[in-house]
Amino acid sequence: MERKILFLCLSFIFFKTQAQESSENQLGTWYMYNGAHRLSEKIKVTTSAHVRYFELASEYQQEIYRVGFNYAFTKNVNFTTGFVYSITDTSYKTIAPNLYEYRFYQDLNIQKYWNNIRFKHRVRLAQRFKRQNFNNETQHRIRYGLFLKYPLKKTLEIYAFNEVFLRFKSQIFGQNRIGTGILQRIDRNLKLRLGYFYNQFTNLGLHRLQVGIILNTNHL
């Protein structure tokens, strides 16, 4: 009887430890740089670099780098095409081969204003070329995001967003991100960003902080 009780206690501790080690129970963080650099009235270069962790500042998950060229058709409609490279650790506190990926992407951005609220719609297509443990795979994906901004005062904004990811395969749903945060303007070119979002996958939900800077420059 004592052995059974000991076995049950050890099993409970083991499963509780496993639950605590789950990435779902951690608050991960994305450390982010995003920038837009205007070259002419209609053309900008967009850049970004993210380092992402399963926890606050440990358990590396991903690094991702993006560069794009943006063309403005009108004040409220623009198009971006670009390239992405990323390295991803697909496991949490286990050893597994990294996932290496490069992709091409195309964005259509449409924004509108209602009073002081800015609504931005973004449709993004991506052609993804992935390599993990000497296995190659090509995937295609579409994302739709709705992004809202509202100024609280001259140097402070709040934002909210929801973005759904759909794949061109039998299991269509990829993920959904929903979140909110604040943007603090430091000067005419620099903003600080602090936010939170929930990332829902088919069988997994992750909580994430966003900590970053946004740098916009004008080279006219």
Walk along the chain (220 residues) in steps of 10 and give the mean pLDDT of each run.
42 40 86 98 98 94 98 97 96 90 98 95 98 94 98 96 95 97 96 98 95 95
The domain locations on the chain are 25-218
The Cα–Cα gap between 60 and 53 comes to 5
Q: 217: closest CA among 35, 77, 50, 94?
A: 35
Superfamily of the domain at 25-218:
Autotransporter beta-domain (2.40.128.130)
Contacts (Cβ under 8 Å, ≥6 apart) of 153 = none
Strand-pair category, 43-53 with 60-72? antiparallel
The Cα–Cα gap between 208 and 193 comes to 13
pLDDT at 21: 61
